[in-house]
Amino acid sequence: MSQPLLGITGLSKRYPNGTQALDSVGLRVGAGELVALLGPNGSGKSTLLRCAVRLLEPDSGSVRVADTELIGLRGTALRRARTRVALIFQQARLVRRRSALDNVAAGALAHHPGPRTALGWLPPGERARAAALLARVGASEIAGQRADTLSGGQAQRTAIARALAQRPVVLLADEPVANLDPEAAAATMALLRELAHTERLAVLCVLHQPALALEFADRVVLLNRGRVVLDQACSDTDLATLAGAG
């Protein structure tokens, strides 16, 4: 692999209760690659994503996004670096009373700092771009709908479009299909794979469904007790291998 867009090395995190959530974890995600992160509950998957974007402070290790080291950054430098990493949650976390289009446009707020932006103002071009992003994720027909009227699949597509409005190079997804029916889950994973391959994003996606990982991801990384126990191409992996490694 060439220089990865996301490079994590020696990442460790121990919680105040003594739980070692991450134990010197290392992984790489390249441009155009979808990597599925699997593991049992409590294995450190969500902690890894939150440490990668500095929502949690790791105890040690390195997180590089393209050519920028995130560990140690503070203030404006950290906020600027974070714009290159978008995080999608299990719940879409949309503003319920705003339209899908407004929610997507809000993803660009960090690129327009200032007092008017703090009140929700954006340049007109950002709304046009938000509409284009909704079309990109196959959801242009819901642009004017309030977020609280959207189905689970529609809400998650809106959340993905909002993440793209952030102009990231790395996309982190924390169980994005956990609350979706099988058809919507497959469609969401197909979209994430397409975005990785065509937009050349580095996508790291936490999943609890090994079959979905093998169907849609390029590589699978398996965590257990805070350590990487498997990291290999999905083409070289099957369900039995995953079960045995876990």
What domains appear along the chain, each with residue ranges and CATH number?
1-84+170-246 (3.40.50.300), 98-167 (no CATH)
Q: SS3 of 8, please?
A: strand
Which amino acid is it at 139? A
Q: pLDDT tens digit string along 22-33?
A: 999 999 999 999
Which amino acid is it at 217? A
**How many Å is the Cα radius of gyration of the chain?**
18
Q: How far apart are CA 236 and CA 233, in angstroms?
A: 5
Q: How far apart are CA 61 and CA 143, in angstroms?
A: 41
Low-confidence ranges of the chain (pLDDT < 70): 1-2, 111-122
Q: pLDDT tens digit string along 117-162?
A: 545 656 778 889 999 999 999 999 999 999 999 999 999 999 999 9
Specify whether the CB–CB gap between 22 and 44 falls below 8 A.
yes
H-type alpha helices, the chain: 45-52, 75-82, 100-105, 115-118, 124-136, 152-165, 182-199, 210-216, 239-245
